[in-house]
């Protein structure tokens, strides 16, 4: 066993004071040291090393090999260096503890390695004040390693912390791997990497230029990152099983990226400030389900959520995505794809959000005979100007003449309030439901539903305000389309059912309802213009001002009813047998 200690005096002074018959050899660890230098090498069990150095430019190097190891280093002033290495090769070796306290600008390296089976209790604690840097590595290379803990506390300026915890062994009793980093000051940076089994990482940064990267590859993984300050940035990547990532950024220019691949993925992100940017990607290979929640408050908010449910079987997990934005120029997208069933996506852009864009894409199953998709998409834009809402559900290729498989029984809701609104909903498959509500000026809404041989679509557009414009396309049997336009001004409504012409297949049993109240009303309804259908119903009520209505029906046993008051003009075209038409025009009855 080697034990060499140089402490309390400079290495140059010791060399000068050496007797003439011997020359002191400077240890490699102390080369370049301008202050005190301490070197400890211990081999055995129940080892303790305690180094206390004052002044600047000190170096401490501790190496311990055995079981039940403890090393304590306390350094004051600036430019100090501490190196602690603890190795355990025996079976069942436990109790590795390294504690470093440094004041001033300092560097600390802690390396703990367990090579034997059942190595437990690797603990490293580093406390630094000033322009400091810390690097902790904890590694287990055999079975059933347990209870890793690394903690770094840094205050002052220009911090940097790296923690790497690795469990490369097997076994069933592998326990927690925990890393905690707390940084307060400016120029903070933290990098935590954890490999295998029960892992937990918490990083708290408060200051100016904080950057935190957490990567966990293993099983039960939790990562919590809290950043408060100015130029925040966080990157969390988790691969494994039951995963949770929570990132909270309060400050100015926070950018956060969370990537999760495994099962039971859960990501929660809160951002407050300017220039917030969030990107969450979740890949559920276990088909158990995943959840992403994003809350952004400030200006120029951007959020993207991607969820992939990859199981082709009947037990595919449910994806949940919720995005809430409050501020100017919000942009939010949610994409849920690949055999995903009963997915739920919600985007809410609040009262202070101008220039908001929101889009949701849900594909659902794309295999023939797949069960009901039951996806739900909701976009709410409460007020503001120049807002866009877009929802796509199912395989929409059939809207132009293809054949849709799967992706049925989905629901889409778009609610908008403000000025210069625009909404688009595209749904492919059977029994889709779409609701659009627009309150304000400059409203515009488009809905397209259905496929050949499909049935049961339901589309409703409700506009209250000026400059209406509503368009609905449905290409299935037994569909219902309703447009309500109130509040006056330029209302225009266009409904087309059974619009995929030249296929030789018409749409039967559809119903189109239009209610326009006030101003320059105009309505055009087409049912089976190219192919013969039947049992279709078209009802138009225009109450007040310019009124124009055109209804065209192809097939038999169709019904058209028009009621117009004030300006009036009506054209009804019916080609087939058993059709009925009723047109009422005149002055609106007194109420």
pLDDT at 124: 95
User: Using alpha carbons only, what angle is made at residue 379 by residues 377 and 383, rounded to the nearest 5 degrees?
Assistant: 170
Q: Which among 40, 48, 64, 51 has a CA at the least distance from the CA of 114?
A: 64
Confidence of residue 378 (pLDDT cuts 50, 70, 90): very high
Least confident of 280-294, 467-481, 506-520: 280-294
The token pair at 47 is: 């080892």
Confidence of residue 19 (pLDDT cuts 50, 70, 90): very low
| pLDDT digit string, tens, across residues 433-471 | 999 999 988 888 999 987 655 678 899 999 998 888 999
pLDDT at 26: 54
What string of DSSP letters covers 306-357? EEEE---STTPPEEEEEEEEESSS-EEEEEEESS--S-EEEEEE-TT--S-E
d(CA 267, CA 273): 20
By the 8 A CB rule, do 364 and 342 touch?
no
What string of DSSP letters covers 41-84? EEEEEEEEEEEEE-SSS-EEEEEEEEEEEEEEEEE-SSSEEEEE
| pLDDT digit string, tens, across residues 182-200 | 888 778 889 998 876 778 8
By the 8 A CB rule, do 4 and 31 touch?
no
Average pLDDT over residues 202-213: 87
By the 8 A CB rule, do 141 and 112 touch?
no
Confidence of residue 372 (pLDDT cuts 50, 70, 90): low
pLDDT at 64: 93
What rounded mean pLDDT belongs to the chain?
83
Backbone angles phi, psi at 370, to 5 degrees: -65, 155
d(CA 206, CA 225): 11
pLDDT at 159: 84
Confidence of residue 6 (pLDDT cuts 50, 70, 90): very low
Count CB atoms within 10 A of the CB of residue 332: 27
d(CA 7, CA 320): 60
- 117-126, 477-486, 491-500: which is most confident: 477-486
Longest dimension (CA), the chain: 126
d(CA 560, CA 563): 10
- 250-259, 439-448, 558-567: which is most confident: 558-567
Q: Which residues sit opposite 477 in a β-bridge?
A: 455
Confidence of residue 239 (pLDDT cuts 50, 70, 90): confident
d(CA 69, CA 86): 7
pLDDT at 402: 45
Task: Please enumerate in sequence order all residues whose Cβ is within 8 A of that of 544, keeping only pairs 6 or more positions apart, or say none.
Answer: 488, 517, 518, 519, 521, 565, 566, 588
The token pair at 377 is: 């998409």
d(CA 148, CA 98): 12
Q: Which among 80, 86, 82, 69 has a CA at the least distance from the CA of 39?
A: 82
By the 8 A CB rule, do 128 and 107 touch?
no
By the 8 A CB rule, do 309 and 286 touch?
no
Confidence of residue 114 (pLDDT cuts 50, 70, 90): confident
Distance of CA 334 to the CA centre of its chain: 8
By the 8 A CB rule, do 195 and 169 touch?
no
The token pair at 177 is: 């791997």
pLDDT at 310: 59
DSSP-derived 3-state class of residue 30 = helix
By the 8 A CB rule, do 332 and 300 touch?
no
Q: At which residue do the structure tokens 């802690």 appear?
A: 110
Confidence of residue 591 (pLDDT cuts 50, 70, 90): low
Q: Which among 579, 572, 578 has a CA at the least distance from the CA of 523?
A: 572
DSSP conformation class of 124: E
Q: Torsion angle of alpha carbons 581, 582, 586, 588, nearest 10°?
A: -130
pLDDT at 238: 86
Least confident of 14-18, 86-90, 107-111, 272-276: 14-18
- Does the pLDDT value for residue 5 go beyond 70? no
Which residue stretches of 218-328 are H helix? none
The token pair at 142 is: 């055999």
By the 8 A CB rule, do 142 and 117 touch?
yes
Per-residue CA distances from 26 to 10, 38, 365 (Å): 11, 11, 71
d(CA 378, CA 361): 11
């Amino acid at each position: 066993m080697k034990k060499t200690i140089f402490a309390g005096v400079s290495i140059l002074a010791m060399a000068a004071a050496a007797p003439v018959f011997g020359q002191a050899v400077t240890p490699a660890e102390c080369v370049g040291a301008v202050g005190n230098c301490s070197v400890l090498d211990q081999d055995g069990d129940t080892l303790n090393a305690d180094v206390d150095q004052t002044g600047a430019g000190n170096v401490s190097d501790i190496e311990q090999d055995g079981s039940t190891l403890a090393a304590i280093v306390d350094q004051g002033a600036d430019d100090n260096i501490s190196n602690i290495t603890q190795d355990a090769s025996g079976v069942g070796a436990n109790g590795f503890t390294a504690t470093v306290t440094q004041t001033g600008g300092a560097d600390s390296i802690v390396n703990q390695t367990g090579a034997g089976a059942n190595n437990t209790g690797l603990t490293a604690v580093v406390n630094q004040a000033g322009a400091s840097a810390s690097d902790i590595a904890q590694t287990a290379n055999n079975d059933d390693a347990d209870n890793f803990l690394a903690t770094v506390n840094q205050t002052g300026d220009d911090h940097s912390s790296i923690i790497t915890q690795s469990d490369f062994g097997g076994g069933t009793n592998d326990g927690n791997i925990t890393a905690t980093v707390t940084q307060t000051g400016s120029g903070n940076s933290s990098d935590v990497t954890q490999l295998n089994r029960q892992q937990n990482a918490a990083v708290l940064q408060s200051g100016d230029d904080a950057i935190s990267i957490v990567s966990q590859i293993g099983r039960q993984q939790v990562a919590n990152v809290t950043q408060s300050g100015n130029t925040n940035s966080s990157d969390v990547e988790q691969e494994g099983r039951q995963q949770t990532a929570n990132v909270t950024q309060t400050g100015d220019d926070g950018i956060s990226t969370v990537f999760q691949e495994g099962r039971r993925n859960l990501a929660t992100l809160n951002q407050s400030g300017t220039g917030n940017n969030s990107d969450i990607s979740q890949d559920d290979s276990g088909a158990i389900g995943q959840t992403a929640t994003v809350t952004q408050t400030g200006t120029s908010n951007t959020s993207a959520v991607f969820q992939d449910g990859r199981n082709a079987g009947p037990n595919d997990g449910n994806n949940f995505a919720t995005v809430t934005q409050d501020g100017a120029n919000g942009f939010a997208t949610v994409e849920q794809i690949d055999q995903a069933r009963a997915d739920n996506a919600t985007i809410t852009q609040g009262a202070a959000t101008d220039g908001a864009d929101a889009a949701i894409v849900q594909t659902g199953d794309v295999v023939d005979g797949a069960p009901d998709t039951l996806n739900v998409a909701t976009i709410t834009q409460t007020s503001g100007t120049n807002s866009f809402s877009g929802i796509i559900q199912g395989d929409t290729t059939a809207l132009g003449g293809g054949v849709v498989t799967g992706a049925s029984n989905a629901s889409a809701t778009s609610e908008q309030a403000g000025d210069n609104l625009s909404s688009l909903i595209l749904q492919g498959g059977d029994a889709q439901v779409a609701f659009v509500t627009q309150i304000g000026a400059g409203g515009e809404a488009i809905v397209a539903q259905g496929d050949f041989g499909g049935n049961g679509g339901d589309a409703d557009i409700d506009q209250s305000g000026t400059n209406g414009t509503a368009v609905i396309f449905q290409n299935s049997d037994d569909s219902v389309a309703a447009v309500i336009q109130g509040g006056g001004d330029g209302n225009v409504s266009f409904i087309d059912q059974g619009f995929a012409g030249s296929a030789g297949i018409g749409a039967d049993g559809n119903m189109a309802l239009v209610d326009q109240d006030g101003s320059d009303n105009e309505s055009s309804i087409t049912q089976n213009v190219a192919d013969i259908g039947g049992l279709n119903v078209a009802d138009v009520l225009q109450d007040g001002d310019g009124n124009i209505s055109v209804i065209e029906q192809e097939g038999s046993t169709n019904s058209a009813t028009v009621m117009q008051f004030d300006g009036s003009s009506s054209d009804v075209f019916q080609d087939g047998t058993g059709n009925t038409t009723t047109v009422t025009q005149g002055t609106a009855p007194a109420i």
